[in-house]
Copies of this chain bind each other. A is one copy, B any other.
Amino acid sequence: MRLKLLGSGNAAGMPLYGCACEVCIEASANRRLQRTPCSAQLEIDGRTYLLDAGQMNLTQQFPAGSLDGILLTHFHVDHVQGLFHLRWGVGEEIPVYCPEDGEGCADLYKHPGILRFHAQQAYVPFVLEGGQVTPLSLNHSKPTLGYLIAWQNAQIAYLTDTKGLPPKTAELLGRQKLDLMVIDCSLMPGCDHPGHNNLDDALVLHKAIRPRRSVLTHIGHDLDIWLKANPQALPDNLSVGHDEQLVYPIV
């Protein structure tokens, strides 16, 4: 099993369009500092899945036939916008595991094209290529699922978008021996949002769940600025994710 972050940014991304701050100027010139829509590529038993589909050029990144399925956390546009074009393709259907959301996003339900949406119930595991995936309720402004993915002896949790965690999700994760927790951390400390963690929230969850390693994702512009000014703020086994980073296995 391998997990690579494709994008590590919030909807605005890094650089922020029109921003001339030092961090944005640096990012404009350095792809490694850029943050595209939060999403990841999961390889499990030789098959390729996406965790969210907000990358705008999915059809270029994943030629037809290279994508075995998609796990959507939720239907906000920055997590699904890559599907608007891809769906119109031809050939094999692509299964999309997702939360139950009557609305979806724009006309994805009306015109699913080659996508087949399979709504999942929180805490009801399903089998994926010999691994087990458990959807987990998260705290967000739309129905949202995190995913606990177990394969052989490894366990990783992908938890975005969320503010804190619902008690049942926190309890379930606290009982696991997580190798990796990828967790929403959109905001700098002290900056509150009803649907996203700030760094304080993420640190609390890291201590409560005790994964071997945590990686922050869905990073917002102001957090990047804060982190540049506070480079020693994070514990050793917690790091800020970046685009195209292989986060599992831990290297």
Contacts and interface: CB of A to CB of B under 8 A. Distances in A.
A36 to B, nearest CB: 9
A77 interface: yes
**Copies held by the complex:** 2
Given A18-B65, A18-B114, A65-B18, A77 B88 contact: no
Interface residues of A, number: 29
Nearest to A90: B18
Contacts of A85: 11-13, 17, 37, 56, 78, 81
A107 interface: yes
Contacts of A12: 85, 88-89
A82 B23 CA distance: 24
A91 interface: yes
Contacts of A56: 56-57, 85
Interface string A34-61: 0001000000000000000000110100
